[in-house]
Amino acid sequence: MKWKSDWEEAKQRLTDWWRGEVLDRVALAVYAPANKPIEETPNIDAPKTFQQRQTDISYRAQATEYKMANTFYGGEAFPCFNTEIGPGDLAPFLGSEPFFHEGTDVVWYQPSITDPEETGPLTFDPDNYWWKLHEQLISQAVKHSQDRYLVGVPDLIEGLDTLGSLRGHTELILDLFRRPKWVHQRLREITDLYFIYFDDIYKMIRDEVGGNAFSLYRIWGPGRMSKVQCDFSARISPTMFKEFVFPYLQEQCSRLDFTLYHLDGPEAIRHLDQLLKIPQLTAIQWVPGAGNPPNESPTWFPLYRKILRSGKSLWLSVPPDHVRKVVNVLGEKGLFITTDVNSEKEARQLLKQMEQSYS
């Protein structure tokens, strides 16, 4: 990779991390403003609206390249083109219309299923506007990359989270009680459709070893890899999780080589025991949620130890001044930390400190 001279070393550390091992230090990705551009690339004025900034392919290509070329990628950090238009890109492929909220720069999805009894099966539509837009964005990103950076899988999302976008979250809660068979039918369809889209994208972006990157969490795996999740699980009991989430999540993990589960907030912790029982689930990423202690707080250390003891790897975003403390408490094995610092000098110093502490 032309914009990441030590990419082969980083790939090896990432591969070891997925396997719950450690090479010569903790797996650590450090991002910082570069002292000078990796390559001179033109900057471009941003369109006026949030929707235009997300959907203008030419702007996305130039703006992303400019940002990547002016970033220092330390350790396991690497330049990756984010192909996401909104969190949960699968929903608009299946009929939910995205709403681009100006001011907050957040994408929401408008429910498309108003009457479940009159709604037929969810199907693949090769001419869906939002799917065609993603295809064009990914194709252009791959064309422009020219071995300088990776192009990542967008944040497709699956299961109850996608069905909630299509149906409405309050309505879906009622559906779990009123029409569970209908919910299972839709979840079956969503799981199969997820892989139709994922497989097409994977064919476009896979690298020479069959690996791929995932855009949102800036992670790479040496095989078919993606993030999986169920944020909707914060609304349901472990019994409902076992019925409506576990079997589809287990299947999804079995159809991928490496998976990173996005565990979001204290209300989702009650499902951790079930997650740890999925042998094909490789790693877990923890997000404490707004208003809760941050990742580096000792509050979460028992949670981290439980995940690591189970044999799963752990992904954490930690402020740079807390990296050493977290590593000292948890150890290097199975731990991946990503952090952002203010300068290339700080990034190099942090990496050197972690190398010295390991030796």
Give per-residue pLDDT as tens, 241-299.
999 999 999 999 999 999 999 999 999 999 999 999 999 999 999 999 999 999 999 99
For residue 31, what are the β-bridge partners? 73, 340
The mean predicted confidence, pLDDT, of the chain is 96
Q: Which residues contact 301 (CB under 8 A, 6 or more apart)?
A: 329, 330
Residue 23 reports pLDDT greater than 90: no
Confidence (pTM)? 0.96
Between strands 80-81 and 150-153, the pairing is: parallel
With respect to residue 70, please indicate whether it lies within any of the assigned structural domains.
yes
With respect to residue 34, please indicate whether it lies within any of the assigned structural domains.
yes
With respect to residue 333, please indicate whether it lies within any of the assigned structural domains.
yes
Q: How far, in Å, CA of 262 to CA of 356, rounded? A: 31
Q: How far, in Å, CA of 80 to CA of 82, rounded? A: 6
Please list, residue by residue across 274-297, b when 16 or more beta carbons sit within 10 angstroms of its beta carbon and e when fewer do: bbbebeebbbbbbbbeeeeeebbe
What is the span of the domain harbouring residue 53?
7-358
With respect to residue 2, please indicate whether it lies within any of the assigned structural domains.
no
Q: What is the CATH number of the domain that holds 208?
A: 3.20.20.210
With respect to residue 176, please indicate whether it lies within any of the assigned structural domains.
yes
Segment 74-99 mean pLDDT: 97
Segment 200-211 mean pLDDT: 97
Residue 356 reports pLDDT greater than 90: no
The H or E element containing residue 351 is helix 344-358
Cβ-contact 26, 335 below 8 angstroms: yes
pLDDT of 290-330, one tens digit each? 999 999 999 999 999 999 999 999 999 999 999 999 999 99
Q: How many domains does the chain have?
A: 1
Band of the pLDDT at 164, cuts 50, 70, 90?
A: very high
pLDDT for 359: 57
With respect to residue 1, please indicate whether it lies within any of the assigned structural domains.
no
